[in-house]
Structure formats: C-alpha cells, structure tokens
Structure 1
Amino acid sequence: MKIYAPTIPVCQLDENNYFVGMTTADLDPLVGNGHYLIPGLCIEADEPKFKAGYIAQWTGESWQYIEDHRGESVYIKETGQEIKISEPGELPKTVTTTPYPDSFHHWSEKENKWVMSLEAEAQKQQQINNERQAKINTLLSVSTEKIAAHQDMIDFADTEEERTEAEKGLLAWRKYRAALLKYQKGLISELPSTPKE
C-alpha cells in the first residue's frame, strides 16, 4: 500500500494568476488515494524563481515573468504629475522615473530628460530674486520695528540698567539691519543671523 504525504506544497495565486506565495494542500482523508484538497486560487507547480523587479504569472502551463513597478513613483512626461504604480507590467512610454524638478522644466524626448528653456530659466531666476527680495523686505521691516522699540526703551528707561540693556539691543538690531542691506546689495553672500533677544 502506497503511503502519501499528509500535505504537499502548492503555489498560491491572486485573481490575475500572479504568484502570491506558497501554502499547503491536505491529503483528502475520504479518498486516500493521493488526492489532495487544493485550496482555491492554488495550483500544483514548482515555486517560481525569484527575479528582482519582476513578478511571476501562471499562464496555465508555465510561469512567465512580468515587470513589477508597483509602489514606485513615476512622473507623467506631459505634466510632471507624480503617480504611484499600482499594477504589474511595463511602464507606459508616457512616464519617466526621473523626478519632475519644477514647473519651469519640460520633458525632452530627444534628450530623454527634463530640460528648461532659456525663457523658463529667466522666469525661474526672476522668481528666486522676487522671493529673496520679499524675505529681505520682511526681515528689514521686523528689524525696523525692533530698533524703534529699543529706542523707546532707551528714551523712557526708569533705571540705568534698563537703559544699558536697551542700548545693547538697539546696537545689535542696527548692526543686523545694516548687514541685511549689505546682503540685499550683494556685498555679503550669507543672510545674517537674527539677533538673540
């Protein structure tokens, strides 16, 4: 009498016949002639070989390997919009894995990369300059308010200690404002640090 293993390994598939993992099938206790109770969406086959970047799919007779980019971010060439890949398969020709730098770039099929026109480059530089100037203006405004406040503290100090402390603050904020003006004119390259209160 032939002895059968109580379980056998089987390949588990999803609804699209992609390999999910291995599980076991139990020997049918009622028949006992080597018939196994194969769970749903499972097949008797050798486990597919692992191939990085691919997923195995059962064709009905053998394993085929499909590119698997699920979970990866890609960028639509026409708009730069980021999308996450959710299905196995080759990447469409309309996307790239190269991150979209910013709205000033466009995709060049010829160069196979994101590029910037001279006009867009000038626009980007203008935007950078505008943002830099806006930041400087805000900091200048803050420093002018601080200088005025310290001057008031000096003018209406009740004690010599109060006056001395306010004078230190006034000097620090005036130096800071002067440094900001130098930075604005390009005389120094680094944005000065805000005085500590």
Structure 2
Amino acid sequence: MKIYAPTIPVCQLDENNYFVGMTTADLDPLENNGHYLLPRLCIKAEPPELRVGYVAQWCDTEWQYIEDHRYEVFYSKETGEVVVIDEPGKLPETVTDTPRPDSFHHWAEKENKWVMSPEAEAQKQQQIDNERKAKINTLLSVATEKIAAYQDMIDFADTEEESTEAEKGLLAWRRYRAALLKYQKGLISELPRTPEE
C-alpha cells in the first residue's frame, strides 16, 4: 500500500489568477488514492519565479509575467497629482515617476520632463516677490506694535528699573525695524532676526 504525504504545497491565486503565495492542500481522508483537496483558487503547479516589477498570472498551463506597478508612486503628466495604479499591466502613457516640482511646471512630452515656460517663470517670480513683501509687511507691523508697547511702558513706568528695561526693549525693536527696512530695500541680503530670537 502506497503512503501519501498528509499535505502538498500548492499555488494560491487571486480572482484574476495572479499568484498570491504558497499554501497547502490536505490529503482527502475519504479516498486512499493520492487525491488532495485543493483550497479555493489554488492550483497544483510549480511556483513561478519571482521577477522584480512583475506579477505572475496563471494562464491554463503556464505562468505569464505581467508588469506590476501597484506599489510604486506615479504622477499625472497633466495635473502633477499622485496617481494610484491598482491593476497590473503596462503603465499608462499619461503618468511619470518624476514628481512635478511645483504648479508652474508642465510636462513636455518631447523632452520627457517637467519644464517651465518663460511666462510661468515670471509668474513664479512675481509670486515669490509678493510673498516676500507680505512677510516683510507683517514683520514690520509686529515690530511697530512692539515699539509702541515699549514706548507706553517707558511713558508710564513706575520705577527707574522698569523704564530702563523698557528702553532696552524699545531700542532692540527699533534696530530690528530699521534692519527690516534695509532688507526691504535690498540693502542687506539676510532677513534680520527678531530681538526675541
């Protein structure tokens, strides 16, 4: 009487016949002829070889290898947004693995990269300039408020010590505001640090 192994390795597939992994099939206890009970979506076959960037699919009698980009990050050439690839297969021509640097860039198919037109470059520079001006104006407002507060503290100080401390604060913030104005006019290249830093 032949003795059969209690289990054998089998290939587990998903609903689309893509290889998922290995599992086991149990020997049929009601039959004594080497018949094994295959779990659902399993086949008796040699496991496929692992290939980076591919998934194996069972096609009747053999494995076929399909490109698999499901766990990679891609970007739309039209919008620059992240595109989720949820099916194996060739990549659509509308995606790239290079992220768009910013909203001023557009995809140039001929160069096969993100590029910026002269108009977009001018717009970007204008935006940078506007943001810089807005930041400086905000910092100047804060400095002016601090200067006014320190002046009030000097004017209404109860002690000489209070007045001396307030004068130090006033001087520091006035120096800072003067440096901001120089930065605004391009006379210095580095944004000055606030007296609180």
Q: TM-score, normalised by structure 2?
A: 0.96
Aligned to 2:27: 27
Alignment of 1:60-99 (within 5 A): 60-99=60-99
The list of structure 1 runs, each at least 4 consecutive aligned residues, that deviate by more than 4 angstroms after superposition, is none
Identity of aligned residues (%): 80
For residues 186-197 of structure 1, the aligned pairs below 5 Å read 186-196=186-196
Listed as ranges, the matches of 1:96-111 within 5 Å are 96-111=96-111
SS at match of 2:172: helix
CA distance in 2, matches of 1:96, 1:151: 59
Contact (CA 8 Å) 2:83, 2:95: kept in 1 or not? no
Shift of 1:127: 0.3
Matched, 1:42 2:47: no
Q: CA deviation at 1:59?
A: 0.9
Equivalent in the alignment of 1:17: 17
Inter-partner Cα distance in structure 2 for 1:164 and 1:22 = 80
Aligned pairs for 1:84-163 within 5 A? 84-163=84-163
Deviations 1:123-176 (A, max 9, x none): 100000000100000000010010011011011100011111101111111111
Which amino acid counterpart does residue 96 of structure 1 have in structure 2? Answer: T
CA distance in 1, matches of 2:87, 2:115: 29
The one-letter amino acid paired with 2:137 is N
Judge conservation of contact 2:10–2:24 (CA < 8 Å) in 1: yes
Q: Which moves more between the two structures, 77-86 or 148-157?
A: 77-86
Q: Deviations over 1:39-86 (max 9, x none)?
A: 000001111111111111111111111111113221111222222222
Q: Note the alpha carbon deviations across 1:167-195, whole angstroms, 9 max, x for none.
A: 11111111111111121122222211122
CA RMSD of aligned residues (A): 1.2
State the number of aligned residues.
Answer: 197
Instruction: Give ranges in structure 1 of 5+ residues lacking alignment.
Output: none
CA distance in 2, matches of 1:65, 1:184: 61
Residue 166 of structure 2 is matched in structure 1 by 166
Q: Contact conserved, 2:56 with 2:64, CA < 8 A, in 1?
A: yes
Whole-angstrom CA distance in 2 between matches of 1:182 and 1:34: 90
Contact 2:77 2:107 in 1 (8 A): yes
Q: What SS does the aligned partner of 1:174 have?
A: helix
Q: Which residue of the partner structure matches residue 53 of structure 1?
A: 53
| TM-score of the aligned structures, taking structure 1 as reference length | 0.96
SS in 2 for 1:66: strand
Can you list the C-alpha shifts for 1:77-130, whole angstroms capped at 9, x where unaligned? Answer: 122222222221111001111101222111101100010000110010000000
SS at match of 1:64: strand
